[in-house]
Amino acid sequence: MESNDFFVIKALEDGVNVIGLTRGTDTRFHHSEKLDENEVMIAQFTEHTSAVKVRGKAVIQTSHGEMYND
Ligand code: TRP
């Protein structure tokens, strides 16, 4: 089953999009969150969310490490 890992996204510019994609056979967007510069989102992978797409300049921390998205 899913591990419910947390991840952190810090926006480095205005208008960073954090998009949640559904778990299961049907993979689709179910939520889009817009972050402005210096806003931080702390979220989890859940029963409903198996993937996340980040669009924009941001620092992303997961259990697999930290990355900088340009
Ligand atoms: N209702 C969503 C869920 O429980 C909320 C959510 C959790 C979410 N993690 C997310 C939305 C990551 C976007 C990105 O799955």
Adjacent-strand bridge partners of 16: 35
Ligand 1 center from residue 47 Cα (angstroms): 9
Is position 60 within any domain? Answer: yes
Which of 41, 44, 45 to mutate for ligand 1's pocket (most ligand atoms within 8 Å of CB)?
A: 44
Q: What number does the ligand 1 atom closest to the CA of 46 have?
A: 15
Cα distances from 62 to residues 8, 26, 30, 68, in angstroms, run 7, 24, 21, 12
Is position 2 within any domain? Answer: no
Is position 65 within any domain? Answer: yes
Q: What is the pTM of this model?
A: 0.94
Query: At 25, which CATH number?
Result: 2.60.40.50
Is position 11 within any domain? Answer: yes
pLDDT digits (tens, 9 = 90+) for 3-43: 789 999 999 999 999 999 999 999 999 999 999 999 999 99
The count of structural domains within the chain is 1
Is position 31 within any domain? Answer: yes
Is position 53 within any domain? Answer: yes
